[in-house]
Amino acid sequence: MSSEEQWWRQAVVYQIYPRSFADANGDGVGDLRGIIGHLDYLEALGVDVVWLSPIYRSPMDDNGYDIADYDDVDPLFGTLADLDELIAGLHARGMKLIMDLVVNHTSDEHPWFVEARQLGSAKRDWYVWRPAREGAIAGQPGAEPTNWGSFFGGPAWSYDEASGEYYLHLFSRKQPDLNWENPQVREAVYAMMRRWVERGVDGFRMDVINLISKQYPLSDGPTGPGEQLSWSQTLWADGPRVQEWLTEMNQAVGLSAEQLFTVGETPGVTIANAREYTRPDAQRLNMVFQFEHMAFDQDGPDKFHLKPVPWPALKQNLAQWDAGLAGQGWNSLYWCNHDQPRVVSRFGDDSPEHRVASAKTLATVLHLHRGTPFIYQGEELGMPNATFIDVSDFRDLESINYFHTRVAAGDDPAQILVGLRGKSRDNARTPMPWSDAPMAGFTTGTPWLPVIGEFKTINAAAQEGDPESVLAHYRRLIELRHREEIVREGDLELLLPDDERLWVFTRTLGAQQWLVLANMTSHAVGVPLSALPSLEDAELVLGSHPGPPTDVQTLRPWESRVYRLAHRA
């Protein structure tokens, strides 16, 4: 495949969470017209692709990841005509649009599921139905067909009294899993994707696409009832037919043939499986999102139990993913999305003193890796986590369910809130701060989730003309990737892999070599220059701090530098 056909290897993607991006009609919820009003901002940032989180008709149990009509826009966000205008506006500026494709499950209010609830209906088999466990009384606790827990708490099965059977839902009870074994389901999904392509969309981000193939016959796993699922389970993740179906999807929709953009969300994926998903000759997906680097600040199996990030483990992990896919598949690169806390609060230092430098340095190390970078709205401003005080401040069903489940189990509510403040998905979902106007210029009404307390200083307008802003730094990183082949395609070698404070690596392409040096702490750190390639006659391509370094041998708190080396090591 030529490099032109693999255009996505050169692209930078920007994720929009429509509910929180910009509200044009004053109802407190972001909408499509709000996005249309900010296309110049996206163009100035320099991104190539915009990924829209779901805007389809939905009861909004999971903010639109529970879809009741795949072919229409929810009135909360606007109309199909607004979407057409958005696509045209992006295309006119040389950008592309990819849609979120949520097809592991539908909403329980989708007409397919409403019909499937009827015993004996033609669509009964479009979902996963099972009788109660043998010998158990249907509807009683413990009678679920298997012991799987849902990702959002409680069992992964709900009892449907009318038909006397249980349906499977790996997420909320309002998100029943589709039965992909049924060819009619697959054909319906591919036909729907085709309709979006014909409407002008340029590709798809595929929600939990590695969960569509389950291991049959369904059986108990080592996870107990109501406990969090473990992604390492082949019972429901990366199942036996997923690769076959993605090949089938690719052909049916024309994904590779029409050079559409595809990224699969694949929690728990291993490097070996990622190769299968992304190797170009197999024509499945361009890239997948891996999750290993999102787990290093997690203490044990509970995602809300936090510990400080061990830098050696995290940086070695990204280097392993790079090596594991080099020449065989392709990586995605991300710190943030709508499910993850803000990176500057999570791995950086969001104090007034270090927020800007740590946001820039986290961006630098990620964007200097090989792969397609994804930027989540507000990340480019160095947005911090929200300030949540009480459980009533949260809107996300995962956070709310978790709080009540843990309280019922006897945990200390104050401790549970510590975990939620650090990890809740709502941290990513606060409104985009556009200016220092009331409600950060996001809405003229009352925002569905409060704007961050710091919006007077942290906002897009304030950073717009400031060359030392986080926003300016992201623009430079995107421009660097577009301009320099070594950033896109150079081989990566991690140096000082066990250093707990410095993140150092080289990128090499032919005779060229670059060196990236980053201090991942809030203290000055000496650089062991003798252990690194020579900096003699090296050119400083990019730095986190203004001007030349004060001292080549010392990195200031959260300082990073990117050098073009004169001599290849």
Q: Which is nearer to ligand ISL, 53 or 506 (CB)?
A: 53
Establish if 349 lies at the interface with ligand ISL (CB under 6 A): no
Considering only residues 480-499, where is the footprint of ligand ISL by CB under 6 A?
none
**Using CA atoms, how far apart are residues 497 and 506, in angstroms rounded to an integer?**
12
* Preceding omega of 217 cis (within 30 degrees of 0): yes
Q: Judged by CB under 6 A, which of 144, 349, 398, 426 binds ligand ISL?
A: 398
Q: Judged by CB under 6 A, which of 83, 102, 189, 449 binds ligand ISL?
A: 102
Q: Which is nearer to ligand ISL, 151 or 558 (CB)?
A: 151
Establish if 65 lies at the interface with ligand ISL (CB under 6 A): yes
Task: State which amino acid sits at residue 344.
Answer: V
Establish if 61 lies at the interface with ligand ISL (CB under 6 A): no
Considering only residues 208-267, where is the footprint of ligand ISL by CB under 6 A?
208, 265, 267
Active-site residue, 207 included: yes
Considering only residues 281-310, where is the footprint of ligand ISL by CB under 6 A?
303
The count of residues in the chain is 569
The single residue listed with the structure tokens 């008709």 is: 57
Measured CA to CA in angstroms, residue 309 lies from 228, 314, 364, 502, 505 at distances of: 22, 8, 18, 13, 19
Establish if 425 lies at the interface with ligand ISL (CB under 6 A): yes
Smallest gap from residue 13 Cβ to ligand ISL (A): 15
Q: Answer yes or no: are the C-beta atoms of 491 and 507 closer than 8 Å.
A: yes
Which residue sits closest to ligand ISL, CB atoms considered?
65
Q: Minimal CA–CA distance to 27: which of 443, 320, 425?
A: 443
The CB density around residue 129, as the number of other CB atoms within 10 Å, is: 21
Q: Which long-range contacts (CB under 8 A, 24 or more apart) does 536-544 make?
A: 536/566, 536/567, 537/566, 537/567, 538/563, 538/564, 538/565, 538/566, 539/563, 539/564, 539/566, 541/480, 541/514, 542/364, 542/476, 542/477, 542/480, 544/357, 544/360, 544/361, 544/364, 544/473
Which class for 233: exposed (0-12), middle (13-18), buried (19 or more C-beta within 10 A)? middle
Q: Which is nearer to ligand ISL, 403 or 514 (CB)?
A: 403
Q: Judged by CB under 6 A, which of 51, 77, 166, 171 binds ligand ISL?
A: 171
From 23, 100, 265, 322, the catalytic residue: 265
Q: Judged by CB under 6 A, which of 48, 144, 160, 207 binds ligand ISL?
A: 207
Q: Minimal CA–CA distance to 48: which of 82, 2, 91?
A: 91
Pairing of strands 372-376, 491-495: unpaired
The count of residues interacting with ligand ISL (CB under 6 A) is: 14
Smallest gap from residue 294 Cβ to ligand ISL (A): 9
Q: Minimal CA–CA distance to 491: which of 473, 477, 511?
A: 511
From 207, 292, 380, 426, the catalytic residue: 207
Considering only residues 454-483, where is the footprint of ligand ISL by CB under 6 A?
none
Establish if 339 lies at the interface with ligand ISL (CB under 6 A): yes
Smallest gap from residue 8 Cβ to ligand ISL (A): 20
> Can you read off the two tokens belonging to residue 91?
């295309």
Smallest gap from residue 303 Cβ to ligand ISL (A): 5
Return residues touching ligand ISL (CB under 6 A). 62, 65, 102, 151, 171, 207-208, 265, 267, 303, 338-339, 398, 425
Q: What residues are labeled active site? A: 207, 265
